Structure 1
Amino acid sequence: MLGGIAKAIFGSSNDRYVKSLGSIVAKINDFEPTISVMTDTELANQTVLFRTRLAEGEKLDNLLPEAFATVREAASRTLGQRHYDTQLIGGIVLHRGEIAEMRTGEGKTLVATLACYLNALPGDGVHVVTVNDYLAQRDAGWMGQVYRFLGLTVGVVIPDIGEDNRREAYAADITYGTNNEFGFDYLRDNMKYDRGQMVQRPFNFGIVDEVDSILIDEARTPLIISGPTDDKSELYMLVDAVVKQFTAEDYEKDEKQKSIILTEDGTEKAERMLEDAGLLEGDNLYDIENTQVVHHLNQSLRANVMFRRDTDYIEKDGKIVIIDEFTGRMMDGRRWSDGLHQAVEAKEGVAIEPENQTMASITFQNFFRMYPKLSGMTGTAATEASEFFDIYKMNVVTIPTNVPVQRIDEEDEFYKNTTDKFAAIAKSIAEKAKIGQPVLVGTVSIEKSELLSEFLTKEGVKHEVLNARFHEREAHIVAQAGSLGAVTIATNMAGRGTDIQLGGNVEFRVGDELAEMPDGPERVAAIAKIKAEVAEDKAKVLAAGGLFVLGTERHESRRIDNQLRGRSGRQGDPGLSRFYLSLDDDLLRIFGPDTMFSKMMNNNIPDGEAIGSKWLSKAIETAQKKVEARNYDVRKQVVEYDDVMNDQRKVIYEQRSDIMDADTVDDVVVDMRAETVNNIVADACPPDSYPEQWDVEAMDIRVTDILGLDLPLADWVAEEGIDAEKLEHRIQEAADASIAAKSDDLDPETWISVEKSIMLQNLDHHWKEHLATLDALRQVIHLRAYAQKTPINEYKREAFVLFERMLEAIREDVTKVLAHAQFGFNPPTDLPQMPDIFTTHFDALSGDDDSADTDAGGGYGFITTRLPPMQIVQPDPEETLGMDPAEWEGRVSRNSPCPCGSGQKYKHCHGAL
């Protein structure tokens, strides 16, 4: 109670913070008289003056008032738009690395120019992250006018641009692009073999547009770069043969979750059979060495017990095709991940296609936390403020609107079932359409959009149906959603970043209707006519009550509902919003069939009749809060597990970077060799043991195998006074001498290149295998909870052990390859090319891969190894492909243009899987 009184008197902490920024806004306004009288040349020269002051030690914060005033004047001259004072507040918030929550229509795109310009002055680069490629291109071209006027360079990163263009875009002062493009470029850069091949600079400052969509909704799934793996067909078939011997008593299954676990007796049975098949290391199934086998065993169990032929999948033309559980349609081209599809193929005895193996991955949480300063903007962030601070250390600041909001948010209407609800929605839309009031309908899925479309067609209402897959077309339709009598059905997330203006959008209409008309008097007259029509229609729409936003279902997150509501009532326009709910809605089903909702609605409400109640709306909001909390816990757990991998990823990427930047890596190679020799001796000569107790035979085998040396170890061990340290010293000297003789046969530059190449390729190979093992470990670690152990702590412990083993294996393999290598007459000096890769990022809501088809291909740069000897081989550049498509497989990069001349990528044409 006291808190409420204090808030009423002094305002909320947000209100007080925003008010405190008023003094900075006043300083910006004080510069306006001086700056507004400058010539264009003088205004543009401000950038040079600011950079000079920075070079002399002045801080960005001191430059802020004058720099913001400069941007405001430049925007006024280039775009005809002058920043409001509330937009200046938004710019200050962005500069401080916070999230600016600004309602739809308040001009967030223009706000970003303030913080972008100021933070681009030091020359370290600014990234503006958008939700789709269309917005990245649009904003780079639109706001780029301001930056270029002031002498800054602007780049845009979109799919299907070459490496050189990407590098140039990242070198610009301000770079626009999508979250996926920035993330995948980071991963691809850390798979390259030369610093000059990399496209990104070190991160500096990032502004994330629609920050809630990118940092929360899309952060449920990681970015993954994968490539083809070794053929494991035999392993799948051997494990499948084991699983087919299990009986129902050997496992427990949960059909709802499609999960299955072995019983204690089943585990013992599996251990015996796997040992007989030669697949088990040691005698315990759950030893860390058997992580991969356990993973394949679990997937084979699921395939044999939980997945049914002709229900979950069918066999067609010798391939396993998934059946969509909701529509019953075949999903050609889609495959289950994590080896499940291969397990089903083994079960049915069809050809097993190799799975793609993860080569690099990162979550958006860990990617964006690499920016030294990160800020964001959106219309809806306050409901997730705690998550933004916990994960990203970013405060959410709600910026007041320039003009008070006039929109009316009505109570929800409840109906018994979906049919009644959609009939009422169609009737309400028809009534609004008759009076010319535009209606924007938000649905939760494409299927619901199509269902509502059928109802509207019966009512004779003309309407547009769109979803979030075709961004550019979508933007044009949504831009005109405020036109007189327009009815637009969109998924709740559709059209974000596009302003809905009452009466229609002049700019979009000019672009759509006059695209072919050349400049001249006729075009000027046509534009004037469009402006007059829009002004006339706007007056009619205002009279009809503004934009009516209609929600067909409550989303599990209040934020998504607020996004939809926020499309109406921009810049003080009148508006209306209302949600229609039914007992069939997913959110209401959370309460179950025997709840207060079903009892009240089934007993008291006649068919087709609605009920509206503040109490019911409050109950729905409470349910949403519970679901939001659950989803946050899920995302938090994803971050906790990825943090373990992230620490290791940083170590590996830093090592790669050090190797690429080093003039020579000879000292690292020497240390690796010394560590390897130390391990060989330590394994054969335990501490406090006598020479006669040493395992000389095993040591001799390893010295020959790893170091390629034939040494008189038995004679050395027989010498009087010998100890392990002296023995290690002799082996080390012999190994160093052997490598020195080999390096003397090559010129120093070539030898350095060979060492770098071998180190990088071994690092990448073992890191890839390590990622696969961690993925498998992640799938089964939850079983530790049955032993009263905390899974995340167990994961951290075992991941650390696996990482240590990986580093040891890298040292040993590098030493082994260099020791056995024999080079041809013309060993290559070029480092290998990046392998063929696939990028994936699954949309958490739709399940679609939204990574954009921009795989950075290249063919395999490879080393063919023979031990002994070793020959470094390069592909023959003169090799011709011929015209038979059957001969192209394995010789054409999957992302290269198809040799048939179709213009498509090979993987989408003759190389389609």
Structure 2
Amino acid sequence: IRAVANDEVEEAREVISQVPGLEEAQLERILGIFKDTQEVSHQVRQAGGLHVVGSERHESRRIDNQLRGRAARQGDPGSSRFFLSFEDELMLRFGGERLKRFTNSNILPDDVPIDFAMVGRIIESAQERIEGYNFDIRKNVVEYDDVMDKQRKAVYAERKQIVMGNTDALDEKIDQAFAQNISELVHNYRENYVGFIRAEVERAVMQFTTDATDEVLLPPVLRRLRGFLPGIAELDPDELAELRPDRLIERLSKLAHENIEDGTNLYQLLRATSRFIPLMPSVPNIAVQLASRRSGHLQAKENIKLEFVTGVRAVFDKFLSNFAEDADLESIWQHAENQIDQAFAEFNAERQSSEGLRRQQEEFRQTVAGALNDLLQDSLSALPSDSLVEALQTYVASEREVWRERMGEEKFQRIQRLILLTAIDREWQDYLTAMDDLRREIRLEAVAQRDPKVEYKRRSFQMFQNMRANIDEAVAQRYFVDLQNHQTVLAREESFAAVREQLSQAGYQVVQRQNGKGAELRRDAPKVGRNDPCPCGSGKKYKHCHMKQDEAARRGRAPGAAGRQKAATGKKKGRRK
């Protein structure tokens, strides 16, 4: 085809002779089509080429120029002409009234087209204004999207760093999350406790205050602040209900000083820290451990106490050994140890009913938990704020190494990645939803004479910082809990895999049921009776053929079979002696 278009027929014939499947008739058809095309092209040129008639002008000059360009491609002849109406959208928005006044002043017949240069300039001016308006819209959209684009790049870069990072990078992320939360807790409950409580009081009062009447809904305020201010229960609700919001804030904020005097702030710090850092081992359930024993309760209780006290002492030394004086440590520990010894001594499981054991266990748990709380609270009060932050961070790092050694490096890294990525993905999804809401509402800032774009950037930055803080908080809050949960799941899977292996060696397989609920055991081969024909096809009974070999093979595959066989052989030899 290219050769025919270039008027090189001989070259086209040579191509046909060299390429299998091409025939001379195809060349003749192409020559005929090319000849007809040339004749039609000649007729079109004589007619003046392609004439484009436009029924309206577009908002953009670029679109009109593209339509005009269809009339004269590559130097071909052609023309274009546009016919407009005063009722067109472009004319109604820009210049329509001006042109109407002009035509009315120059009384023209209705069938005479208006063809003046001024009309073209008015239309082009209208198109320029619309193009500028559309450009401002696109620019405005880009400015809004640019904020999210930068934040999206930052989040995705952090995710990539977690996915591709090594052990040091993951540990650094975890340390950063714990450091942020520990520093914030110590600052709020020790350095700035009064300001922290006042901020919580203001937030609660403002949330439950009616703007129209300036009336405070007191019951929800008291319920929300009960955990921060235990002394709030001693105040008269009727007296508080008569106070205005500002006076109520002042009255409730004074309770923070009472919390500092009686050490409630340290107890609250301990409770907040214990939510995400396992500072002490759990209290043992003596009733359950002794209920299965008929005798030896005293010795068993002593063993439980020794194990529990040893664990508590190890945690206590790990937490404070490098940050407090030895004399202070011994004084704090001796007081807690005496309380624990007394609780164990008062527990008596002899001749007790199940209800009596349950009641004693509850009293024992409360006593020991109180002793542990006193121990930790005294430990917190013995350290300055900087040393306390460092001690908590060191303890978290040591506990992390314990989990690393227990689970193995590969599994531990995988779980750390999962914890970090889960926190980031959850908070990022919530953040995207909040940003969509903000973008719909931010235009109302113009009513208050504020630039919506400036307010959008400012508030999105604050929301992004809050999201980063929420990610660190989620990682710290869930870290040790998820490690324990994953360890439980892995142990269950390993136990199930061991059972499957034993069943497989015994000639069974575990098959998941079709409805997805539970599993069932199936034999790898159908069961053969002693007197049935042997599956090998020999015609003999199974007991006279391969039964002994199959039983020996099953015994050999069973765990501990070799050890049992050797032991049995040793016993027989001993009897012969």
Q: What is the TM-score with the length of structure 1 in the denominator?
A: 0.32
Rg larger in 1 or in 2?
2
Normalized per residue, which structure has more strand? 1
Normalized per residue, which structure has more helix? 2
Q: What is the TM-score with the length of structure 2 in the denominator?
A: 0.50
